[in-house]
Amino acid sequence: MDGHTRILTLQNGYHVWTRQVGRGPTPVLLLHGGPGATHEYLENLADYIPLDEFTLYYYDQLGSFHSDQPDDFGLWTVERFRNEVNEVRQSLGLERFILYGQSWGGMLAQEYALCYPEQLQGVVISNMVASIQDYVRYLSVLRQQLPPALQEEMAAFERAEDYFNPRYLEIMDLLYRRHLCRLSEWPAAVNRSFARMAYDVYGTMQGPNEFLVTGTFKNWDRWEDLHRIQVPTLLLVGAHDTMDPESVKDMGRRIPNAETVVCPSGSHLAMWDDPDHYFPPLIRFLRRVGQS
């Protein structure tokens, strides 16, 4: 991916990797998921978003592959990551910008819009609901769509905390290919991001995998605060997502200036498995908000 790379120094002395792609007048700061994934699975945004109209700022959050990876589990909190986003924004000199967050990045985007709205032109919340309990509830719905025998096997492995058993991983792969990315061959950028997952960060905050949440952010909930997000907001979700499309629609009703898009063939990575429905509304939103 072409662009200009900068390593930024945070106030705590650690370093994070950033890359500027494009030369358009409207800056868009991109927040990847995980926690602990990398920017790489978002690389295809630069293939669709017009780079003469927008400048994309990718960055690997602290702990992720291209940034520093400190051995300090006290760093892995929602509040510190939210404040890190503002530090990155300041270091990049973004005084008016659009914030895009996908999955965990969408959780951070909600946090940022609530706590640091002053510089925001708009916010994109992609493939994320407004509470972890809502996410967990819907995971149970998706798990129950498996044959009963597979459900029982999963539960047995989880009771034993045998999360790396080959058979358990086989069942996880089945769920991931239904709800994480529905392409028969996963793109190289997605595979790289998964291969480089920072499991100390992910395990601390999320848990063992996408279908079992045991980590420290399990009580996160912003449903009652959504009405305070006043900036223009775009909500994107896949019909086959790990996030409940009906919950995302409810978010759109609670956020005052929001638009909601459900990608009919998409999963959690709808930018890859349903780009025809993902990118046109995203680009329209970016153009509309960028001109305001």
Residue-wise pLDDT tens digits, 202-256: 999 999 999 999 999 999 999 999 999 999 999 999 999 999 999 999 999 999 9
Q: Please pick, among 60, 241, 244, 273, the residue that the annotation labels catalytic.
A: 241
Q: Residue 228's domain spans which residues?
A: 4-290
How many domains does the structure of the chain reveal? 1
Residue 79: exposure state from Cβ atoms within 10 A (0-12, 13-18, ≥19): exposed
* 292 counts as catalytic: no
* 103 counts as catalytic: yes
CATH number at residue 89: 3.40.50.1820
Phi, psi for 125 (deg, rounded to 5): -110, 105
Q: Please pick, among 60, 66, 67, 103, the residue that the annotation labels catalytic.
A: 103
Q: Please pick, among 67, 268, 273, 277, the residue that the annotation labels catalytic.
A: 268
The predicted-structure confidence for 113-132, as pLDDT tens digits, reads as follows 999 999 999 999 999 999 99
pTM of the model: 0.97
* 268 counts as catalytic: yes
Say how far apart CA 99 and CA 57 lie, in whole Å: 10
The CA-to-CA distance between both ends of the chain, in Å, stands at 29
Q: Tokens at residue 133, please?
A: 């309990």
Give the start-end residues of each E strand in 183-256: 233-238
∠74-18-38 over CA atoms, to 5°? 60
